[in-house]
Amino acid sequence: MMEAIAQQWNFMRILRLVVGIWGIYSSITDSQPLFGILGGVFILQSLLNVGGCGSNGCKIPQNQNHTTANIKNT
């Protein structure tokens, strides 16, 4: 579990963590529990590496049959 948390940090994962920390900080300073819940969700998403599509659940497979055609001048 710790290996999954410590590896594969990308921009979106760091952004979710920062937004989550900001949400929890904002909920404490403004006494808004909804921001705390939202911040907790964002922190959970960043720690578990899941987003809107799950962990690479929306990835489209690439075509492995690459064919090229020569274009001749006419």
Tell me how many domains the chain contains.
Answer: 1
**Is it the case that residue 56 has pLDDT exceeding 80?**
no
Nearest to 17 by CA among 52, 53, 41: 41
Whether 21 is in a domain gets the answer yes
- Summary mean pLDDT of the chain: 80
Residue 74 placed within a domain = no
Exposure b/e, 50-62, CB count within 10 A at least 16 = b: eeeeeeeeeeeee
What confidence tens digit (pLDDT) does each residue in 3-34 have? 767 777 888 888 999 999 999 999 999 999 99
pTM of the predicted structure, to 2 decimals:
0.65
**Domain membership flag for residue 26:** yes
Q: Is residue 28 part of a domain?
A: yes
| Residue 25 is assigned to a structural domain of this protein | yes
